[in-house]
Chain A
Amino acid sequence: MGELSTGLRRGTLEFCVLAMVEVEDRYGNEIVRRLGDEPNLAAGEGTIYPLLSRLRRSGWLESKWVESPSGPPRRYYGLTAAGRSALEHFRSEWVSFRQTVDRLVGTGETA
């Protein structure tokens, strides 16, 4: 993964994670599998777990271990109220940010 994607990813990937659990709680495998399928988002599924840990410690996510009927316990993640407002805030910031970059770099109208 190049320097550019690393820089762009920093600060945006966490909101992709928050958006994934916005409607319903999901367990770790679901989240990292989905993000791992996007080659320019994650360097590997395993690199998402430290991010999940930080989001939980900073109070945007909450997690609970749930026994699975078939197999090992699963750790489910859900949005906290703080996480929900952080996601809303990002959405409005992101749109104006993207429009500014498009205007300055020339990636907007011509496409």
Chain B
Amino acid sequence: MKTSKTDVVAEYLREVDQRLAGLPVLQRRELLADLAAHIAAEREERNLSAEGEVIEVLERLGSPEAIAAAAHEEAGTRPAPPARTTNWVLIGLVAAGALVVLFVLCGLVFFAQGSSSDDAPAPQRTAPVPTITG
């Protein structure tokens, strides 16, 4: 019984902590310590025994999302999306960017070669130009 109540609180605090990424580390620690002290004091003063009563304390505190949002608002930071999503979005963006650059470069090289064969050869055309083979 004792361990299950502690689990509820530990899980709640972990949920809050996960949403505090991006917050300065000391503010993050401070908030978790304040919440833990709040819960401990409520339990002690009101002599809470059942898990349902502890859950009620957590409900009054608010959802981990709401608390983290308030923390980010006060600190002027932005809540970080889950790490995995960020990485994939970043990788996708980088890959798309690289493709666009590649296309533009290919187009430029193609256009330069095409137009130079049409027009009169410029004097500096004789300078060695890196050739793309294959």
Contacts and interface: CB of A to CB of B under 8 A. Distances in A.
Interface of A: 27-29, 32, 36, 43-47, 49-54, 68, 70-75
B67 A28 contact: no
B66 interface: yes
Contacts of A73: 37
8 contacts: A43-B70, A45-B61, A49-B38, A49-B67, A50-B67, A53-B34, A72-B40, A75-B37
B44 A71 contact: yes
Interface stretch (B71-79, B82-90, B109-117): B71-79
B35 interface: yes
The 3 A-B residue pairs with the shortest CB-CB distance in the complex, in nearest-first order? A44-B62, A71-B44, A46-B61
B30 interface: yes
B62 A28 contact: no
B76 to A, nearest CB: 9
B44 A47 contact: no
Interface of B: 16, 27, 30-31, 34-35, 37-38, 40-42, 44-45, 60-63, 66-67, 69-71, 73-75
A40 to B, nearest CB: 15
B73 to A, nearest CB: 7
Contacts of A53: 27, 30-31, 34, 74
A49 B31 contact: yes
A28 B73 CA distance: 20
Contacts of A49: 31, 34-35, 38, 67
Chain A binding surface SS class? helix
B67 to A, nearest CB: 4
Given A49-B31, A53-B27, A53-B31, A44 B67 contact: yes
Contacts of A52: 34
A71 B39 CA distance: 11
A32 B35 CA distance: 11
Given A71-B41, A75-B37, 16 more contacts: A29-B42, A44-B67, A45-B38, A45-B62, A46-B61, A47-B62, A49-B34, A49-B35, A49-B67, A50-B74, A50-B75, A51-B74, A68-B44, A72-B37, A72-B40, A72-B44
